[in-house]
Structures are given as structure tokens and as C-alpha cells.
Amino acid sequence: MKMSFTAWCVTAIIAAGLAFFGLSLFAYFSGQNSLIFIGMGIFMAIVMTSTSLIAQRQNRAKKEQVK
């Protein structure tokens, strides 16, 4: 079964969210609060990159339809 590009991006976002959740729990219980901010930065970078790539592909598809 072949996954679409959007499905891969959504999968990456979900995986990053789960990893951030696990890292946050570990940071909370171990007292290393700086890990929460590191995890938040990585999660935000993955989400913003994925959504930007999806938006670029949608804009490209719209431009091709207009031509």
C-alpha cells in the first residue's frame, strides 16, 4: 500500500507529537525542565516544515489547474 505525501507528513507530525509527549513526561519526572523546551522546539520545527511542504504542494497544484 502506497501512502500519499500528505499521509507521510501527518504521520511525521503524529510521531513527533508522541515523542514530545514522552520526552515531556521524562523531563517532568526527572526534573530536567530544559528537555521540555528542546522537545517543543523540535516538535514545532517538524510541524511547521510539514505544513509548509503541504501548502507549497497545494499552491503548485492550484497554479497548474489555472494554466
4 found inside a domain:
no
pTM: 0.79
- The pLDDT of residue 65 is 86
Site of grid cell 517532568: 28
61 found inside a domain:
yes
- The pLDDT of residue 26 is 94
The tens-digit pLDDT sequence of the chain (67 residues) is 788 988 999 999 999 999 999 999 999 999 998 999 999 999 999 999 999 999 999 999 888 888 7
Counting the structural domains of the chain, the total is 1
Evaluate whether 39 touches 19 at the Cβ level (below 8 Å): yes
Range of the structural domain that residue 43 is part of: 10-66
1 found inside a domain:
no
